[in-house]
Amino acid sequence: MDSFEKMLDKAYEKKTAKELIDCPVEALAGVSAKDAELLKEDFNIKTIGDLGTNKYFVAATQIARAVDLAQSEQTKSAALHEYGSLKERQGKYGEAETLLRRSLALFEYALGVDHPHLGASLDALAGVLVSQGKYAEAKTLLGRSLALAETALGVDHPDYGASLQLLAWVLALAAG
């Protein structure tokens, strides 16, 4: 109940959740009688329960939660990326590959598969693959990174040049 108290007007603080569902929306702290009237007129929302189940408010809540989840996944991905980079520096390429693949998957989930920030993850994973002699897959990842850099930054940007240089290095190694 304590968690509800700050959300409610004083007159409604002692009500249970079951009781609150049927209370008028102006029972919520900060919702005026005028606000409640507009909600009623525009959306037929009369109670807290109506507000909580309104399809537009439900959709907005789901979108907000998805954004929170994506931000959480980005944070996890960054941590996995750093840990994978540490394992690479330690020469533990198999572990590094696993961590960097997980990091990339989370970044793709959080940002989308065409986001320019994926370039660093693609490059890092490709570097680990090169260390293991997996040139074909490294080449594919670097080609994707290069395409993202070109689209997002243009061919005159230094990051595009760095991606191009990495790809050339892998092609040279693969050629023997």
Domain ranges of the chain: 2-53, 72-175
- pLDDT at position 67: 76
- pLDDT at position 37: 94
- CA–CA separation, 167 vs 148, rounded Å? 13
Instruction: Specify the DSSP class assigned to residue 13.
Output: T
CB atoms within 10 A of CB 120: 15
* pLDDT tens sequence across 109-148: 888 898 888 999 999 999 999 999 999 999 999 999 999 9
Q: How much of the chain exceeds pLDDT 90, in percent? A: 65
- pLDDT at position 72: 82
Task: Write down the architecture of domain 72-175 according to CATH.
Answer: Alpha Horseshoe (1.25)
Q: Categorize the per-residue pLDDT at 2 as very low, low, confident or very high, splitting at 50, 70 and 90.
A: low
Alpha carbon dihedral 144, 111, 81, 71, in 10-degree steps, equals 180
64 versus 90: which is more confidently predicted?
90
139 versus 4: which is more confidently predicted?
139
Q: Categorize the per-residue pLDDT at 1 as very low, low, confident or very high, splitting at 50, 70 and 90.
A: very low
Predicted model pTM: 0.64
